[in-house]
Amino acid sequence: MKMYAATIPAEVLHLKPRHLYYARQKQLFVLVFLAVAVVPLFCINWYASHYYENSWLKKTSAELTGIAESRREIVDRFLAAQENQLAGLVAFGSLETLGRQKELERLFAGFKRDGAITDLGVIDREGNHRAYVGPYSQELAGKNYADTPWFHEAMGSGRYISDIFSGYRKVPHVIVAVADPERTWLLRATINSELFNALVASANVGEGGDAFIINTKGELQTPSRQNRDGLKNEQVAKLTAVANEDRGPQRVGNHLYAVTPLKGGDWLLVLETDLRTALADFYQARHFGLLLILAASAVIFVVAALVINSMMNRIAKADQQRMTLTNNVRHVEKMALVGRLAASVAHEINNPLQIITDQAGWINELLDDEDKERVANLGEYRSSLARIRAQVKRAGAITHRLLGFSRLRDEEWSATDLNRAAEETIALLENEAKNHHITIRRSYAPTLPPVRTDASQLQQVFLNILNNAMDAIGQNGVIEVVTRLADPQVAIEFRDNGPGLPPAVMGRIFDSFFTTKQKGKGTGLGLSISQHIVERLGGTIHAANREEGGSVFTVALPLPTAHAQANHLPKMLQQTMAVGR
Amino acid sequence: MNPLRLLIVDDEADFVESLTKRLRRRGIACDGAGCGTEALARLAAAPYDVVLLDMLLPDTNGNEVLRAIKAQWPTTQVIILTGHASVEAGRESLTRGAAEYLMKPLEMETLFDKLTAHRGRPNGSRDSKGTSTGGRTDEEPFFSFQPIMEGTHQ
């Protein structure tokens, strides 16, 4: 039990910087914890995402390639079929027969049922339109094609399929022409553009996709689903390169392109699919996975923060306890040094005091031998000697107190306000209490009659009890100091919310040299001295455990009633006052 | 009754002198010794009923002298009177057989009461010298354990 109030300034404990340090450590640990737990999650997600995206892309590419192949075949076959049909007519017919309008009409009626060809014309080697069947007879009858490029090409190579063009009729269309082997005439047909467009348009490229045919100039040969007007030259060059490299579909941004040459490279069949549509399921799954990981990260963060917070709090508490212990040890050492200094001074003074009182006593004894009549100032001598001895007693009391052997001095009894005495004692300890996060609450009786007692001794008792309470609590707690009037006594209670007193200890706490504290921390005298003091002051002290936990020490002192002043002079006090008389 | 024979062991000559003078007036046969060696020499030369012993001596400390006295003259009562009091030294003295452990400054009346009180003890007889190996050493010495924390003198 400490004999002295330990007031350790906050600067010494370095509380503030330590707190910052713990906060930084917490942040660091949380970050590390999070990184270790979350980074692998994201890595796995990233890898899985890429893996599945690639496989989805491959699947989509394969599908698109398949579609492109089949469309190419369909378109090629369609065009070849039309060409072959015309070639057959040319082989079996002649300019003379088919050049006759009637004959051509009869022929056209025969095969127009499949709807692939919308008109048919016969042109001789001079380019004269000898016969025509179809919806544009008004515009085309009797026209001469000798100046048109396609006529020359058809007459040159024997077979010809045009790009889409407007021609004389001013409507975009595709024509197929086949010349006879001798190049004396040719048969020309216009392909049903709706039917032809449908061949391409029906390609299943999904929502947001496109399927069309372009020529080398970037002109659309079939309409674009996305209402494109045509492609620029560099786009065509790229598509051509894709088609020629034969590396399968290429991805550009969010789109996948499959390009395949048609009509011997004159045309390109372009299939475009929007990956956002094609990979919608995948993207949805990836999105969900990401959300799941974020949620998991949040949970990990919260758990890490809680665990690390609790861990760091424990470390901080342990650190603080260790620091407090170190400070206490230092404080005890310091106080021990002060005590030794005081004791050595007191020791040195006791010897002269003894001699002074002996000499005074000797003079007093010698005065007895004198003739009373002849010693004029005998009374003065006697009273002076008595005062010397009284002062020696007083000085002795002081040195004994310094040595820890406190003795009651009656002259120190005065009317004492219990609340004030308590308040002054608490003021000594408030700083230390704060350092240990201990709150001291006061609950003072507003009008408390003064007691006749030795205030400084009483404060020593309060100090001992409060110190014990603080030691019992350690860190974080509440001490309640309550004063009350319990006629014919006043009482003061010190309630703490520490661990309380074990039953085994309860009976011995007021014994000298009994302590539950660590070796070197307590002398086992604090409460023993307190009990002696209180009893000398005519009061009582007792300890109990509180129902709600912790212990309560109650000091009760008698009120100075007329009766009490006469007879209640404490027995111990009477004894003390009798000493040395 | 024979006068009480007292040996005062203290290095403060003024203390020994004044106390001797005052106690002699009260019928006590007093001698003084300024150090532990002198004290033991006087005890060897003549028997004493009571030894008033200081703790801090020029050549040794009081507890050593106390031990020597109790070993050779177990019936001689030893009262410690010192200005250098401490709880530990007090306990040691009482454990080693001191009858009292008193602190300076002390009033004559108290001291006189203590001295005469111990003279009246049954084992306070003077034939202890030379019989130190006898059965008397087994006797319980007068032992007044008075917790000095109380600071009161009865």
Check CB contact of A359 with chain B, cutoff 8 Å: yes
Q: What is the β-pairing status of strands A540-545 and A489-496?
A: unpaired
With residues binned 3-state (H G I as helix, E B as strand, rest as coil), the percentages for chain B, rounded to 5, are 40, 15, 45
- In this predicted structure, what is the pLDDT of residue B54? 92
Nearest to A502 by CA among A550, A453, A554: A550
**pLDDT for A240-285, tens place per residue?**
888 877 778 888 888 888 888 888 788 888 888 888 888 888 889 8
Interface test with A, best of B84, B104, B112, B146 (most A CBs within 10 A): B104
Q: What is the DSSP letter of A165?
A: B
**pLDDT for A200-231, tens place per residue?**
888 888 888 888 888 888 888 888 888 888 88
- Name, in order, each residue with C-beta under 8 angstroms of A34's C-beta and a sequence gap of 6 or more: A297, A300, A301, A304
- In this predicted structure, what is the pLDDT of residue A519? 54
Is the pLDDT at B151 greater than 60, yes or no? no
Q: What is the β-pairing status of strands A267-274 and A210-215?
A: antiparallel
Is the pLDDT at B67 greater than 90, yes or no? yes
- Name, in order, each residue with C-beta under 8 angstroms of B106's C-beta and a sequence gap of 6 or more: A354, A357, A580, B81
**Structure-block tokens of residue A317:** 């508490």
DSSP-assigned beta bridge partners for residue A543:
A553
Query: Which parts of chain A have pLDDT scores under 50?
Result: 1-8, 10-15, 406-411, 562-581
Interface test with B, best of A345, A348, A354 (most B CBs within 10 A): A354
A520 burial via Cβ count (<10 Å: 0-12, 13-18, 19+): exposed
Q: What is the DSSP letter of A436?
A: T
- In this predicted structure, what is the pLDDT of residue A99? 84
Q: What is the pTM of this model?
A: 0.45
**Which candidate from A346, A365, A532 shows the least CB-CB separation from B150?**
A532
Residue in A closest to B148 by C-alpha: A405
**Structure-block tokens of residue B89:** 């030294």
- In this predicted structure, what is the pLDDT of residue A579? 36
Nearest to A2 by CA among A470, A338, A399: A470
Cβ contact, residue pair B104, A353, below 8 Å:
yes
- In this predicted structure, what is the pLDDT of residue B133? 34
B21 interaction partners in chain A (CB closer than 8 Å): 362
- Give the ipTM of the model, two decimals please: 0.76
**pLDDT for B80-136, tens place per residue?**
998 877 767 777 888 888 888 888 888 888 899 888 887 655 443 333 333 333 333
Interface test with A, best of B19, B86, B103 (most A CBs within 10 A): B103
**Structure-block tokens of residue A212:** 């069309």
Calculate how close chain B gets to A462, using CA atoms only, in Å. 18
The span from the CA of B39 to the CA of B140, in Å, is 24
B85 interaction partners in chain A (CB closer than 8 Å): 347, 350, 400, 403, 405
**Structure-block tokens of residue A354:** 């003894």
User: Are the C-beta atoms of A412 and A457 separated by less than 8 Å?
Assistant: yes
Question: What HEC string does A506-519 produce?
Answer: HCCCCCCCCCCCCC
CA distances (Å), origin B28, targets A180, B31, B143: 173, 10, 22
Task: Give the sign of the dihedral formed by CA B78, CA B82, CA B88, CA B89.
Answer: negative
Cβ contact, residue pair A580, B107, below 8 Å:
yes
A577 interaction partners in chain B (CB closer than 8 Å): none
Residue with the bigger pLDDT between B31 and A415: it is: B31
- Name, in order, each residue with C-beta under 8 angstroms of A341's C-beta and a sequence gap of 6 or more: none
The span from the CA of A366 to the CA of A542, in Å, is 51
B25 interaction partners in chain A (CB closer than 8 Å): 365
- In this predicted structure, what is the pLDDT of residue A451? 86
Residue with the bigger pLDDT between B144 and A281: it is: A281
B84 interaction partners in chain A (CB closer than 8 Å): 347, 350
B109 interaction partners in chain A (CB closer than 8 Å): 580-581
- Residue A234 CB neighbours (<10 A): 9
